[in-house]
Amino acid sequence: MFCRVRLALATAGSVRSSSCVNPRTVRLVTPGFCRHQRRSLNSESAGVRVLYDGQCPICLTEIRFLQFLQKKRPGKVDFVDISKPGYDGAKYKDVSYEMAMEEMTVIDEKDEVHRGVSAFAVMYGAVGLGWLGRFMMWSPVRPFMDKSYAIFARNRLKWTGRSEECATGSCKKKPVDS
């Protein structure tokens, strides 16, 4: 609430007429008032890219939920299924298929790669669940989250019944049918 009031005061004070509207000015003023609003005001950002295993039923359930939340923020998050034959890691900061299979990987608006729990925090923030991401990253909770996620990432193939087809710890991409 206070951030909205401060934002209105800051933009009203710096913009006197409609001919003076400059989105860069507004963007430079607002982060000092409300850090959490910076992302929503920047329309020029590339968005968040979530690299997920579309063959993992657990992962897919979560991604579908996040896509549902994404409907309110079109274009904010790009969900990339690494299990599809056309996945090219060179397009995604050189994150190979094998790397993306090891743990959740997200590329933020600044083109920084996040893996594991921090990837979830970025992803949740992008779909409107920033409070959950901040909770996961909170110092009393973070060690528990790191350990829990490490156990999940290490065992997800076995738990989803894919351990035989992924015997080496990472699945091999299926060849493209001609």
Q: What is d(CA 125, CA 36) in angstroms, rounded to the nearest whole number?
A: 9
**CA count, 13 A, side-chain hemisphere, 170:** 12
Report domain extents, the chain.
2-41, 45-173
Instruction: Give me the mean pLDDT over the 66-76 stretch.
Output: 82
Do residues 10 and 37 touch, judged by C-beta distance below 8 A? no
Task: Give the whole-angstrom CA distance, residue 164 versus residue 161.
Answer: 8
From CA 134, how far away is CA 144, in angstroms rounded? 14
CATH class of 45-173: alpha beta
Is residue 9 within 8 Å of 20, Cβ to Cβ?
no
Confidence class for position 166, pLDDT limits 50, 70, 90: low
Is the Cβ–Cβ distance between 14 and 29 less than 8 Å? yes
Question: For position 39, what pLDDT does the model report?
Answer: 40
Distance CA(57)–CA(110), nearest Å, equals: 30
Chain segment 16-37, per-residue pLDDT in tens: 333 333 333 333 333 333 344 3
Of 52, 146, 128, nearest to 92 by C-alpha is: 52
